[in-house]
Amino acid sequence: MSTRALLVTGGGGVGKTTLAAAIGVVAARRGIRTLVVTVDPARRLADALGTTLGTEPQPLGDEPNLWAAMLDASASWEAIARRHADPAAAERLVANPFFHAATTQFPASQSYAAAEEAVTFIDARAWELVVVDTPPAAGGIDFFTAPRAITDLVGGRLLRWMTGGNLPGRRFFFDRTARPVLRIAGTVLGTQLLDQIAQFFMDLRTTYDGVRRRAKEIEDHLRGAHTVVVTTADPTPLREAVRFFRELPEVARRPEAVIFNRTLPTSWIDADPSGIPEPLASNLRRWAAEAHRQQELRAEFASRYDTRMAVVPWQPEPPTDLDALERLVKASEGLEPVLWDTVD
Ligand SMILES: Nc1ncnc2c1ncn2[C@@H]1O[C@H](COP(=O)(O)OP(=O)(O)OP(=O)(O)O)[C@@H](O)[C@H]1O
Ligand SMILES: [Mg+2]
């Protein structure tokens, strides 16, 4: 079965998880075997997708073509360690406090873990479409550059920076006179802590060949995937969206479309407040002006970045069940054509 991947990207809180799920529902109800891979869905959406949503894909309700899985970045890092390190080193890594720190704090970690899991599902060839929600922590195109960043981490660039010169062996760490940075670290952190750090880097190193190979495969998959960029008409997510259009072509495919979410109806632009009492009338004028601003902004964005556009209305109630998700897509403009072109 050939599998298409659709990555739903964009700034924080713009509706990536909601739209990834909504696209999944519509595709599945069209008869396309679809897996939605979500990251940290809002509570009520998680309920809609199934209360027992886990990291393994599971069929949803009585939908014959819809599966869902939730990515858990820390759990997948354990899986990555177990896959790429020998069993003893993997156990040590997972138990090492620095493993936890590095895998949750290193900026590219969550993105990499999510990308690795997503690619595993794409590789499984069990679905025609895999819709991937991207983690909120992944600022901009981090999701796409994470494999390279992780290869650098595991490959020892950080370690080299800490120690200078070539990658050191275990003895290096015990010779605290070797480098001022280690001498200071030893004094400040204490010997035991420094040993844990040393062990961590040593064990991490053993995963290098595996991680590098896998990171390369992930990069290739991400390059072949289709991407849509979700934004609202607010300045911060818009800046983020612009970054995708400017920077993504350097590392992956150009985005297929920009999706403006939570848009005000264009019919509001011409709302006539005559005969309506204050303060409702000035409120109406304010919303008319905002609806107009959003419309102009969308047109300018689409023409400046020469892209297809989809417009998703701001619903009075956030969609929290599968039917409401489907309605969100049906009420939108231009989203289904982008979807069908991606799947074809
Ligand atoms: N078109 C819409 N109309 C009304 N509510 C919406 C719409 N789209 C999304 N929402 C609501 O907005 C909130 C944020 O959406 P969502 O969680 O999908 O964003 P996200 O981009 O995944 O956020 P994060 O970056 O935190 O992962 C949710 O409560 C969701 O129900
Ligand atoms: Mg989300």
**Is the previous residue joined to 313 through a cis bond, with omega within 30 degrees of 0?**
no
Best residue among 7, 17, 320, 332 to mutate for probing ligand 1's pocket (most ligand atoms within 8 Å of CB) is: 17
CATH of the domain at 248: 3.40.50.300
Write the pLDDT tens digit of every residue in 56-92.
Answer: 898 988 899 999 998 776 667 788 888 888 899 899 9
Taking the centre of ligand 2 as the mean of its atom positions, its distance from the CA of residue 255, in whole angstroms, is: 19
Residue 94 lies in a domain: no
Give the model's confidence band at 177: pLDDT under 50 very low, under 70 low, under 90 confident, else very high: low
Residue 267 lies in a domain: yes
- Give the total number of structural domains in the chain: 1
Structure-token match 């120690």, residue found = 163
Which pLDDT score is estimated for 129? 97
pLDDT over 90 at 97, yes or no: no
Residue 203 lies in a domain: no
Residue 198 lies in a domain: no
Structure-token match 């892209």, residue found = 307
Indicate which atom in ligand 1 lies nearest the CA of residue 261: 1
- Residue ranges near ligand 2 (ion) with Cβ within 5 Å: 16-17
Domain that holds residue 136: 4-84+108-144+218-343
Confidence (pTM): 0.86
Q: Are 238 and 231 in contact, with CB atoms under 8 Å apart?
A: yes
Q: Read off the tokens for 193.
A: 């802590």
| CB of 14 closer than 6 angstroms to any ligand 1 atom | yes
Helices (H), 252-332: 280-304, 322-330
Structure-token match 């550059």, residue found = 145
AA identity, residue 164: G
Give the model's confidence band at 190: pLDDT under 50 very low, under 70 low, under 90 confident, else very high: low
Question: Strands 58-59 and 66-71, how do they pair?
Answer: antiparallel
Pairwise CA distance, residues 340 & 27, whole Å:
8
pLDDT over 90 at 239, yes or no: yes
Write the pLDDT tens digit of every residue in 11-46.
Answer: 989 999 999 999 999 999 999 999 999 877 766 677
| CB of 324 closer than 6 angstroms to any ligand 1 atom | no
Pairwise CA distance, residues 169 & 171, whole Å:
5
Q: In 10 A of CB 308, how many CB atoms?
A: 16
Residue 201 lies in a domain: no
Q: How high is the mean pLDDT of the chain?
A: 85
**Nearest ligand by distance to the CA of 11:** 1
CA distances (Å), origin 103, targets 87, 171, 204, 315: 19, 25, 11, 37
Give the containing element (helix H, strand E) for 229: strand 226-231
CA distances (Å), origin 151, targets 73, 182, 273: 17, 24, 60
- DSSP letter assigned to residue 333: B
Which pLDDT score is estimated for 308? 97
Query: Whose CA is closest to atom 18 on ligand 1?
Result: 15
Name the 3-class secondary structure at 20: helix
